[in-house]
Chain A
Amino acid sequence: MRISTELSLAALLSTVALTSAAHHSMPALFDTGSTVTVSGEVTGFQFISPHAYILMDVVDGAGERVNWQIETYPPGMLIRKGLTPANVQPGQTISATGHPARDGRPLMRLLTVTMPNGDEKQIQ
């Protein structure tokens, strides 16, 4: 089982602090009271505004491949943090932890990412 969900006090505390960090209302669209971690193969990286998206295939508990969309900051912020299409490329394996979408879609707001080289980056 590569998908785990946990309630996180840290996430709860950071909700208030980060409310305005996102362009849209993050608590309304994402469950900022919980976090989810997925690992899998990168299938794409849309380096766009107002939010960038890493796309990745994740094998769920039933053995099905599910394409997750990992929403994160716009490109400028990611360039400063060193998370770009230059170091996260299709075919590579990453792990992403973030707040899941409230509507249950395979979509999250990224908090931390384990890069293909094993480095962990805190993004938000």
Chain B
Amino acid sequence: MQKISSRINRSVIGSTLGPLICAGFLSAPSAAPAADFTGVWLATTPRSGIGANQPELTPRARADLGAFDPLSDPVIRCVPPGFPRTGLVIYPFEIVQTEDLVVFLYEVFGMVRRIRIEGGPPPDYLPPARTGYSVGHWEQDQLVVDTTHVESGLLSGGGIAQYGDVSVLERYSLSDDGQILEAEVTITAPETFVAPWTRHFTWELDPDGMIFDAPCDPADSRF
């Protein structure tokens, strides 16, 4: 309950100060979080990931999908999935945030994604990584995240591939009561999708929730 009122208060403060900041009466707290996303978030059901609203694939992606062997999915051998696949599945995550950082702690393989608030461009040389390089900024009480430098691999467990040209734009916001986290996610991947693909996701706050870890041993795989 305390958490909810804290969220509402922050929102109220933000909307009160906003006009003053715009008018130049106050210095803009550019790095200050405009909303509090802290907590454990559970995907609302039904959950469709990439299964529904199938985007149109490029000939290359269609061919790879047709030849996909599900037994080749590294996840079966306990290799963590990459981004954005991590965010498309039903499994929960916890968000921890500071002024400079929003951190997604995914239950899937204990993956971590750091979003650098007002983080600036990536270093001149940055190799692609499983979760890429994410920079965020606040647009009023909406968190906008740009992610690039994502390594190639599987974009979905169903066999849609990504080829290293993926960029993802996420817009996160809270419902008025702070209980629902909403995201509009646009995946741009010219080698995979003919056009950018946008999905809307929601999660509900699990006020007493926690994220669980569990061992994964490739030897236990049935496949």
Contact = CB atoms under 8 A, between A and B. Distances in A.
Nearest to A79: B212
Nearest to A53: B222
Interface string B84-122: 000011111000000000000001110000000000000
A65 interface: no
Interface string B62-81: 00000010100101101001
A50 interface: yes
B91 A77 contact: yes
B157 interface: yes
Contacts of A77: 90-91, 107
A1 interface: no
B223 A20 contact: no
B157 A24 contact: yes
A21 interface: yes
Contact of B51 (A16, A69, A74, A107): A16
Interface string A45-70: 01111100100000000000000010
Interface string B31-52: 0000000000010001111111
Given A25-B159, A27-B158, A50-B216, A20 B75 contact: no
A19 interface: yes
A41 interface: no
B46 A17 contact: yes
Contact of A20 (B157, B213, B214, B222): B157
A65 to B, nearest CB: 19
Contact of B220 (A20, A23, A48): A48
Most buried by B among A19, A46, A75, A77: A19
Nearest to B47: A21
A31 to B, nearest CB: 13
B211 interface: yes
A83 interface: no
A27 B46 CA distance: 17
Contacts of A26: 157
Contact of A28 (B52, B70, B211): B70
A76 interface: yes
Contacts of A7: none
Given A17-B46, A19-B157, A20-B156, A75 B89 contact: no
A19 B70 contact: no
B157 A50 contact: no
B215 interface: yes
Given A20-B89, A24-B223, A75 B47 contact: no
9 contacts: A14-B46, A15-B51, A24-B223, A25-B70, A25-B158, A48-B215, A48-B220, A50-B109, A50-B216
8 nearest interchain CB pairs?
A20-B49, A19-B51, A76-B212, A28-B70, A49-B216, A25-B70, A75-B214, A49-B214
